[in-house]
Amino acid sequence: MKIIAVCGMGIGTSVLLKMNTEKVLTLLGVTAEVQAADITTAKREAHVADIIMTTPELVFQLENMPGKIVAIDHVFDLVEIREKLSGALGELGKL
């Protein structure tokens, strides 16, 4: 399974979201490759992603991507990430 964590520049928020997504995946016992990316890279590579983690303001730029888009309001909130990621994994039959 592949997950892309996306922010505008690919060096700040996406890296934090990637690290916290990996923590949550470990807690859930789920194995996945998680990549941090800027919006341009994400648009180019999202066709191979099962899940796209991003902030609400970027969702509209990723709407036509085939992966499940998960909007995270607070990238430091592991509870929020766990709830939303668990929901996405469940929808994909990965949890």
Q: Which residues are catalytic?
A: 7
CA distance linking residue 89 with residue 37, whole number of Å: 20
CA distance linking residue 35 with residue 14, whole number of Å: 8
C-alpha separations of 83 from 15, 24, 44, 72 in Å: 19, 10, 27, 10
Find the helix packing angle between 78-91 and 13-28, rounded to 10°: 70
User: What Rg do the C-alpha atoms of the chain give, in angstroms?
Assistant: 12
